[in-house]
Chains A and B, each alone.
Chain A
Amino acid sequence: MSQHIKLKKGFNINLAGKPQKVVGESDRSETFAIKPTDFPGIIRPKVTVREGDIVKAGTPVLFDKKMDQVMYCAPVSGEVVEIVRGEKRKLLAIKILADKEVVYEQHKEHSSTEISGISREEAQEVMLKSGVWPQIIQRPYGIVANPEDTPKAIFVSTFDTHPLAPDYDVLLKNQASYFEAGVEVLKKFTSGKVNLGVNADAEVSPIFSNAKGVQVNKFSGPHPAGNVGVHIHHIDPIGKGDLVWTIDPYGVVQLGKLFLKGVYDASKVIALTGSEVKEPQYYTTYQGACIDKLVDNRIKQDHVRYISGNVLTGEKIDKKGYLGFYHHQLTVIPEGDQYEFLGWLKPTTSKLSFHRALGLLSFLNPKKEFVLTTNTLGEERAFVQTGAFEKVVPMDILPEFLLKAIMAEDYDDMEALGIYEVVEEDLALCEFIDVSKHDIQAIIRDGINLIKATT
């Protein structure tokens, strides 16, 4: 029973720097890193390699002592050159100097017909040790799934509506068979359905249309229509005690490759986007790539911010930083650390605002692309405006009350108001539009951590 859900609430941030649908060649990065900080669920990361060790692509380098079956593996083969630690010896990254030719840990290969015959236990064992498992995210909490659980459903969103988001057609070109195989594997893990959320505003890509035995639901509307959390909310919502898993299409493909080719293939296509990129387009690389080679000579100016991911949920990294585990995008925008004389008062059309107080005439020019900087454009203040958050969260949730419940550490209210249904990205637009400039995603993560600690 396919559903078509039309979402009205939300906001598309129309940024300059959309990527051309071309996959370009780039000098390969020399080093790659796996960062435990990319996984919010990791509590006590433990490194299994030492500096100087030689690893293959798919060799476990890290696990969480609290969930020690799940291995986090090297994306490429090479030598472990550095284990970076921060304050209190907090593990920040494991850097690997890549070989010229990637060598893989070999697992058993299957033909596409064999896959449906594999048992869950068998599949799980190879997924856990090969490195693909962390692609599976559990809701509530948005953390790496616990292999001992059986989710009531699995959700895959096949489109991304974030600003400048890459197109899965380009990211996963010619990988439909792997996607199909990946879905086949996923079906073993849930008692319910595997749900594909597809974009009703565009043609369904052939990559996804061949998957069998899945529930396809259409979504249309502005961002966050592509967020998997929104799909879950409308199709099979999570209450207390419920559990669903999510995985992005890249993860499904990686899963398919593990079974069809027998290797942990961490190669990926990423989009280099943003107003400060000379020619925004796609490049091939591997998970956790150092971005230095990617951005070399491709950026218009020096005073920029490099963001792993998109501008709403991404993370600032430096010029020699590493791509995040789940990111398929590197965004480059101008750093906004300048003062602006009477910046709050001037009438202007060059600034982007969801609120009509600034964007009163924006309907005259709906396709206008904006160049946004990292300036906060205002000071942090008390919550004053009401009713705005509701306009960008297409869920039956009262964001303002949820946030206040979190700040008051009121566990009952947090539960009742929907903390189980959201992760940071679902309220990222609230953070963007907030006139009082609160770090709303950080508040949400605090709330998730509070609730998680009680269970």
Chain B
Amino acid sequence: MKAIRDILDKQKPLFEKGGKFEKFYYLFEANETFLFQPNETTPAKGAQVRDANNLKRLMITVVVAMIPCLLFGIYNVGHMHFLATGQTADLGQKIGLGLVVVLPVVLTAYVAGGIVEVIFAVIRRHPINEGFLVTGMLIPLILPPTIPLWQVALASVFAVVIAKEVFGGTGMNVLNVAMTARAFLYFAYPSDMSGDVWYYLGDSQYADGFTGATALGLAAETTLVDGTQEVAATLASTNDGLFSFWNMFVGFIPGSIGETSTLMALVGAIILIATGVGSWKIIVSVFGGALGLGYLLTAFGANEFMMMPAHYHWVMGGLAFGAVFMATDPVSAAHTESGKWVYGALIGVITVIIRVLNPAYPEGIMLAVLFMNVFAPLIDHIVVQSNKKRRLQRATV
């Protein structure tokens, strides 16, 4: 450690004001502060001691919370491949294939986004923000396993520039950065983001009788015919019971790399809530909003999808992942505590509306999060106004 410190101390003058690489100071700073907690002390006036938590710690906690999803995603990509192609494989083969598919996506997202971060830090002379540790991991987890790497790179660059840097960087963005990346790909390259993209097949073909649909797609297409078959039954009968409730809960279903497992998202949620990093109010209210509207729709029951048991919404598609990792992004979510309830509940509600009532688009969490990102400041505004009003009334007493 002393040796590393000595090297850093030797290099430091080169990057400081007047040094040869003055421009790249924040690149150096990023590396230095990554290795060593700096020796800065508190100012002469004010709090003389500080809490041991900091933004790096906060961000790395989120990354840790995502690791179960990533690991499961790696396994599941392999598992789904062999299932769809009808081959048998052991655990090692599944994980091996998963690594080959997933790691390049993760690396591409980190490298492409990281380069943009550094360029902006150098030009703007602001520190490289730790937020990218999280974004760079979120982007791969919400993309399908068949995604071309150049699209990953393009989406990362687009998201960092348009969703974050144009607003002034971390802490200033309006939209969730990772969701923006996905929305960009969804609208720019729809054929790579929907349809037969959820199984990584490589050079192989589907096994006989295997369909490449997802649970949400099946549910949306189930129509009311005589001798009706419920959505749940349709799901359970497809691909030899692939879409049973428990399979969907644990995550052995096709989908985006890290999104399929509700169980792993819940593990992440427990980490986020236990550490206090993610807002439990948002997570609970997203699930609550989705369930509430789900129940309401079963009461109307105009089509089969509406009749689907409401709790199925929790385990299908990316709702759980979105609720835990996307909706809780503190910058783009509502900032007020009471606003968080409204914000989360509306995400849940809108997700179900898009899924069930919109025939064109089976997944809703992405648009719901982005939509509510835009409305979060309005929710906050209303909460703040009511606080102001309360204070004013009190003053006249």
Taking Cβ atoms with an 8 Å cutoff, the residues of A that contact B are 13, 15, 237-240, 242, 305, 307, 311-316, 331, 333, 335-345, 348, 351-358, 360, 372-379, 381-387, 390, 396-398, 400-401, 416-418, 424, 428, 431-437, 439-442
A2 CB to closest chain B CB (Å) equals 19
Nearest residue, chain A, Cβ from B33: A379
By a CB distance below 8 angstroms, the chain B residues around A358 are 51-53, 57
A378-B54, A382-B171 known; 20 other A-B pairs, CB under 8 Å? A13-B49, A311-B48, A313-B46, A345-B60, A353-B52, A356-B274, A356-B275, A357-B276, A358-B52, A378-B53, A379-B127, A381-B130, A382-B172, A384-B331, A416-B391, A416-B392, A417-B391, A418-B391, A431-B50, A433-B53
A339 and B55: CB pair below 8 A?
A: no
B41 and A335: CB pair below 8 A?
A: yes
Does B56 sit within 8 A of A, measured CB to CB?
A: yes
By a CB distance below 8 angstroms, the chain A residues around B390 are 396
By a CB distance below 8 angstroms, the chain B residues around A338 are 39
By a CB distance below 8 angstroms, the chain A residues around B330 are 384-387
Does B35 sit within 8 A of A, measured CB to CB?
A: yes
Known: A386-B330, A416-B388. A307 touches B48 (CB 8 A): yes
Does B91 sit within 8 A of A, measured CB to CB?
A: no
Known: A337-B41, A340-B36, A376-B41. A433 touches B48 (CB 8 A): no
Which of B17-25, B141-149, B307-315, B335-343 lies at the interface?
B335-343
A376 and B50: CB pair below 8 A?
A: yes
B165 CB to closest chain A CB (Å) equals 12
A340-B55 Cα distance, complex, nearest whole Å: 16
B45 and A442: CB pair below 8 A?
A: yes
Does B166 sit within 8 A of A, measured CB to CB?
A: no
Does B170 sit within 8 A of A, measured CB to CB?
A: yes
B171 and A356: CB pair below 8 A?
A: no
Q: Which of B169, B275, B279, B388 has a CB less than 8 Å from the CB of A360?
A: B275
A374-B43 Cα distance, complex, nearest whole Å: 9
Q: Which of A305, A339, A417, A440 has a CB less than 8 Å from the CB of B39?
A: A339
Nearest residue, chain A, Cβ from B58: A435
A337 and B39: CB pair below 8 A?
A: yes
B267 CB to closest chain A CB (Å) equals 16
B57 and A344: CB pair below 8 A?
A: yes
By a CB distance below 8 angstroms, the chain A residues around B55 are 378-379, 381, 384-385, 435-436
A434 and B51: CB pair below 8 A?
A: yes
By a CB distance below 8 angstroms, the chain A residues around B275 are 355-357, 360
Nearest residue, chain B, Cβ from A339: B36
Nearest residue, chain B, Cβ from A385: B330
Does B228 sit within 8 A of A, measured CB to CB?
A: no
B residues 120-154 touching A (CB-CB < 8 Å): 127, 129-131
A431-B42 Cα distance, complex, nearest whole Å: 11
From DSSP, what is the main secondary structure of chain A's interface residues?
loop
A379 and B40: CB pair below 8 A?
A: yes
A369 CB to closest chain B CB (Å) equals 13
By a CB distance below 8 angstroms, the chain A residues around B88 are none
B52 and A374: CB pair below 8 A?
A: no
Does B384 sit within 8 A of A, measured CB to CB?
A: yes
A315-B45 Cα distance, complex, nearest whole Å: 5
Q: Which of B45, B54, B60 has a CB less than 8 Å from the CB of A441?
A: B45
A344-B170 Cα distance, complex, nearest whole Å: 19
A387 and B41: CB pair below 8 A?
A: no
By a CB distance below 8 angstroms, the chain A residues around B337 are 387, 390
B residues 241-288 touching A (CB-CB < 8 Å): 274-277, 279
Does B7 sit within 8 A of A, measured CB to CB?
A: no
**Most chain A beta-carbon contacts within 10 A, residue among B5, B53, B337:** B53
A294 CB to closest chain B CB (Å) equals 18
Complex A-B, nearest 6 residue pairs according to Cβ-Cβ distance, in ascending order: A239-B395, A378-B54, A343-B37, A382-B171, A351-B52, A316-B44
Does B85 sit within 8 A of A, measured CB to CB?
A: no
B387 CB to closest chain A CB (Å) equals 6
B37 and A375: CB pair below 8 A?
A: yes
B387 and A374: CB pair below 8 A?
A: no
Nearest residue, chain B, Cβ from A371: B49
B335 CB to closest chain A CB (Å) equals 4
Nearest residue, chain A, Cβ from B275: A357
By a CB distance below 8 angstroms, the chain A residues around B380 are 401
B45 and A375: CB pair below 8 A?
A: no
By a CB distance below 8 angstroms, the chain A residues around B335 are 386-387, 400-401
A315 and B44: CB pair below 8 A?
A: yes
Nearest residue, chain A, Cβ from B41: A374
A390-B340 Cα distance, complex, nearest whole Å: 13
B114 CB to closest chain A CB (Å) equals 17
A63-B277 Cα distance, complex, nearest whole Å: 50
B391 and A305: CB pair below 8 A?
A: no
Known: A239-B394, A337-B39, A435-B58. A316 touches B130 (CB 8 A): no
By a CB distance below 8 angstroms, the chain B residues around A375 are 37, 39-42, 50
A245-B335 Cα distance, complex, nearest whole Å: 34
A23 CB to closest chain B CB (Å) equals 25
Q: Which of B49, B172, B383 has a CB less than 8 Å from the CB of A373?
A: B49
15 A–B contacts, CB within 8 A, in A order? A13-B49, A239-B395, A239-B396, A311-B48, A312-B48, A333-B49, A339-B36, A341-B35, A344-B33, A355-B275, A355-B276, A357-B53, A374-B49, A431-B46, A435-B55
Q: Which of A237, A311, A336 has a CB less than 8 Å from the CB of B395?
A: A237
Does B333 sit within 8 A of A, measured CB to CB?
A: yes
A276-B4 Cα distance, complex, nearest whole Å: 30
By a CB distance below 8 angstroms, the chain B residues around A418 are 391
Does B47 sit within 8 A of A, measured CB to CB?
A: yes
Does B61 sit within 8 A of A, measured CB to CB?
A: yes
B36 and A342: CB pair below 8 A?
A: yes
**Most chain A beta-carbon contacts within 10 A, residue among B44, B54, B331:** B54
Nearest residue, chain A, Cβ from B42: A374
B396 and A357: CB pair below 8 A?
A: no
Does B38 sit within 8 A of A, measured CB to CB?
A: yes
By a CB distance below 8 angstroms, the chain A residues around B35 are 341-342
A413-B381 Cα distance, complex, nearest whole Å: 12
A322-B319 Cα distance, complex, nearest whole Å: 60
A435 and B54: CB pair below 8 A?
A: yes
Does B1 sit within 8 A of A, measured CB to CB?
A: yes
A240 and B395: CB pair below 8 A?
A: yes
B59 CB to closest chain A CB (Å) equals 8
A383-B170 Cα distance, complex, nearest whole Å: 8
